[in-house]
């Protein structure tokens, strides 16, 4: 094989190797772009659900709007709970510091044992009285203890009118605000994939 033929083969080989590297890199970048687009789409859906939930809450309960106006921040979670002799559920949400507008995307999960059969879709709204309560919730996570209940709705005899331990909590279903809905055993933490 002469030198000219060897150079042509080497050049052709180099071109094929470069093409493979370019296509591989493009595929990796495309996968990263796709992942980024999926994450952005999830964040947009969470933000949209949160805003719709807040709008519905304020329309249903003017006291909730007054608490929101005086709060440091808020969080809204969309949850689906299933019960078939035991119960479990999970969902996503966003926590927002009002002054800065900084959003932290979060997850929630719940599990328990009890009598029940069916599915329940609902939203939880948290209003935070101060930065310490908000930052603890966002950065350390939070688990509702046995006594945690969501605020009473407008039809309940004892409607919630203030923060308790720095929090005001509301639970909403398709039927509206729930009176004294139980959220015990539910845990909240940051969503590492969306932040």
Give the DSSP letter of residue 162. Answer: S
Position 178 in a domain: yes
Position 23 in a domain: no
Position 151 in a domain: yes
Position 16 in a domain: no
Position 44 in a domain: no
Return the closest-CA partner of residue 92 out of 151, 135, 46, 141: 46
Which structure tokens are listed for 110? 């719940």
User: What whole-number distance in Å separates Cα of residue 62 and Cα of residue 60?
Assistant: 7
User: What whole-number distance in Å separates Cα of residue 139 and Cα of residue 15?
Assistant: 51
Position 147 in a domain: yes
Position 66 in a domain: yes
Return the closest-CA partner of residue 110 out of 189, 183, 194: 183
Q: What is the mean pLDDT of the chain?
A: 79
Q: How confident is the model at residue 103 (pLDDT cuts 50, 70, 90)?
A: very high
pLDDT tens per residue across span 47-80:
999 999 999 999 988 899 999 999 999 999 998 8
Q: 110 lies in which domain range?
A: 58-190
* Least confident among 15-24, 105-114, 134-143: 15-24
State how many domains the chain has.
1
For the chain, helix, strand, coil in percent to 5 are 40, 35, 25
The three-state secondary structure class of 104 is strand
The three-state secondary structure class of 180 is coil
pLDDT given for residue 80 in this prediction: 81
pLDDT given for residue 158 in this prediction: 41
CB 104 within 8 A of CB 195: yes
Position 6 in a domain: no
pLDDT given for residue 130 in this prediction: 96
pLDDT tens per residue across span 152-195:
444 433 445 588 889 999 988 877 776 555 667 789 999 999 99
């Amino acid at each position: 094989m002469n030198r000219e033929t060897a150079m042509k083969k080497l050049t052709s080989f180099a071109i094929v190797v470069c093409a493979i590297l370019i296509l591989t890199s493009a595929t990796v970048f495309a996968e990263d772009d796709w992942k980024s687009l999926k994450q952005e789409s999830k964040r947009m859906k969470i933000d949209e659900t949160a805003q719709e939930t807040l709008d519905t809450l304020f329309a249903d309960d003017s006291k909730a709007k007054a608490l929101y106006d005086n709060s440091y921040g808020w969080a809204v979670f969309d949850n689906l709970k299933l019960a078939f002799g035991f119960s479990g559920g999970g969902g996503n949400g966003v926590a927002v510091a009002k002054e800065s507008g900084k959003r932290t995307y979060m997850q929630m999960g719940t599990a328990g044992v009890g009598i029940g059969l069916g599915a329940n879709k609902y939203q939880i709204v948290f209003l935070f009285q101060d930065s310490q309560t908000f930052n603890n919730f966002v950065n350390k996570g939070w688990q509702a203890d046995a006594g945690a209940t969501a605020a009473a709705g407008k039809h309940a005899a004892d409607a919630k009118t203030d923060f308790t331990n720095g929090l005001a909590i509301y639970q909403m279903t398709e039927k509206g605000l729930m009176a004294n809905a139980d959220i015990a055993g539910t845990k909240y933490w940051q969503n590492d994939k969306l932040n």
